[in-house]
Structure 1
Amino acid sequence: MRIGLRTWEVRLGIVLVASSIAIYSVKYLLLGDPENTYQYIFNALGFLPINVLLVTLILNQLLSIRAKRDRLEKLNMVIGTFFSEVGTALLAYISARDPDLRGAHQGLVVTDAWRPETFGAVRDRLKDHTCRVAVDPGDLQELCGYLKERRDFLLRLLENPVLLEHESFTDLLRAVFHLTEELERRKDFASLPESDIAHLTRDVERVYGRLIVEWLAYMEHLKCNYPYLFSLAMRTNPFDETASTVVR
């Protein structure tokens, strides 16, 4: 493969150089004036390094932009898979135990009318909001089983090199893994003291806060790029008590 590429490059170089020689030869034969031809050749050679520099910078910038766009697309595909397999259901489960669901989080009912500035305003408001949940031993037992069943899937996500460029989503996965490990190490949730319940509750709240932020960013991405996926995401919004997958 590499040999073939070099052969193609060499052939292209030969063709281009031969074309230049042919053009200058025709100019000399038709117009004469060799001094003017030589002067033009040296002028062109003098500008060649600058020309190469400009073309290299422009091409490099264009390639960088395209590579970044491709990485973002792959990243959003991975994030979409996370929410399809784990995130949305996890967010629905935790938000159902949020005593303030009808209060501060009522503004998370995303609609078609939302604009980029709407998403930005909600993100700014979430920075100053502290998530709270109320969970009991039964909730923790159920949450433990849910996360254990999806542990292998989450591990494969964490191994994906694309996620290295998305620190906030990686932090979310770390928080989910930490919560999973904490829950797996408990055997009998019914006998846990209040202090341990409070500790696990804080772990759940950490996941909850990060999950909301990433979910909101994913919703904005869908609205801007994939209207049909955004439609389903709106109809399964865990913060909308009237949400229904049935289109009415």
Structure 2
Amino acid sequence: MDKYKKETFLIGSGLIGLSLILHFFHYLIFKDLHHTLIFLVADIAFVPMDVFFTAFVIEKLLDKRETHHKMEKLIIIKGVFYSELGNSLLDEFVKGDKNIDLIKNDAFIKKSWGKEEFKALEKELDEYSYEVNLENLDIRKISDILNKEKDFLISLITNPTLMEHESFSDMIITLMHLREELLDRYFKMECECNCCDKNHIEEDIEDAYRALTYGWVRYMRHLKKEYPKLFLKAMLNNPFDDRSFSEKYKVSEENGINICEMIK
């Protein structure tokens, strides 16, 4: 019997024994075995109902409330992440995407989108072949972004709110791995012996690109449902939308969206 089971057994035995002793004292004081047994049986009969309301009803309500609070915190953390470095990295990765024209238009998330449109985009991105051309990427800029936000990434990994969200945690770990590979494999080996394995670096960037893109779509879906105003702002920073601000402004006006009011 391990330590945890032994402690549980001892505590349970102690509580049951205490209950029997108290009922015995009740009998000694009032000398009424009939009513003592009535109370004892009534208490035992109430246990299943008590367990039901405590373990299933109340606990479910508390879990639902806690889950909602965790989701709110997660959305805030994701928002900070994408505004601080996620969108900047995606902007750079998109520039080196060999097949960007295949998903570019489909990734123009619109105000009218609902659950089905987001699901369709998630499915498309899940099946998409993420291939980047290292020559079209500003590797130094990507490395600088990751190095500048190193402490922020570490704080995200250790954040207890993210521990239960495996996909987001994996994305942060992927970015940390990319940062280390750029420093140790790309810049160091390129400078010292000009023998960097660029194919390996491309694969690491593609992994980070895939994780960032999928996470971004799920983040946008949550914003659309829970925070419509933040969703409208995030639409302006769509990393797959390379239109100028004036073009976005014109299209937004045609769709009844006032950007000037939206960004206040």
Give TM-score, length-normalised by structure 2.
Answer: 0.71
Does 2:234 correspond to 1:233?
A: yes
Q: Match of 2:112, SS?
A: coil
Does the aligned pair in 1 maintain the 2:104–2:241 contact within 8 Å?
no
46, 49, 73: which is aligned to 1:51?
Answer: 49
In the TM superposition, structure 1's runs of 4+ consecutive aligned residues that sit over 6 Å from their partners are 40-44
> Equivalent residues in 2 for 1:128-207 (5 A)?
128-136=127-135, 139-185=138-184, 186-187=187-188, 189=190, 192-193=194-195, 196-207=197-208
- Point out where structure 2 has 5 or more consecutive residues left out of the alignment: 1-37, 250-258
Give TM-score, length-normalised by structure 1.
Answer: 0.75
Does the aligned pair in 1 maintain the 2:96–2:135 contact within 8 Å?
no
**Partner deviation per Cα, 1:124-180 (whole Å, 9 max, x = no partner):** 122221111112397222221221111111111111111111111111111101110
Does the aligned pair in 2 maintain the 1:76–1:218 contact within 8 Å?
yes
Sort the Cα spacing of 1:93 and 1:53 in 2 relative to 1 into closer, same or farther, 3 A: same
> Equivalent residues in 2 for 1:1-248 (5 A)?
48-56=46-54, 57-136=56-135, 139-185=138-184, 186-187=187-188, 189=190, 192-193=194-195, 196-242=197-243, 244=245, 247=259
- How many residues align structurally? 210
Q: Match of 1:170, SS?
A: helix
Sort the Cα spacing of 1:210 and 1:50 in 2 relative to 1 into closer, same or farther, 3 A: same
Does the aligned pair in 2 maintain the 1:99–1:134 contact within 8 Å?
yes
Does the aligned pair in 2 maintain the 1:91–1:238 contact within 8 Å?
yes
Distance 2:93 2:72 in 1: 28
- Point out where structure 1 has 5 or more consecutive residues left out of the alignment: 1-39
Distance 2:137 2:122 in 1: 32
Q: What is the deviation of 1:83?
A: 0.7
Select the structure with the greater relative contact order (CA < 8 A; seq sep ≥ 6): 1
Distance 1:238 1:48 in 2: 59
The share of aligned pairs that are identical, in percent, is 31
Q: Match of 1:99, SS?
A: coil
Sort the Cα spacing of 1:203 and 1:52 in 2 relative to 1 into closer, same or farther, 3 A: same
State the AA in 1 paired with 2:211: R
Does the aligned pair in 2 maintain the 1:164–1:170 contact within 8 Å?
yes
Does the aligned pair in 2 maintain the 1:100–1:132 contact within 8 Å?
yes
State the AA in 2 paired with 1:174: I
RMSD over equivalenced CA pairs, Å? 2.7
Distance 1:206 1:109 in 2: 22
Sort the Cα spacing of 1:79 and 1:138 in 2 relative to 1 into closer, same or farther, 3 A: closer
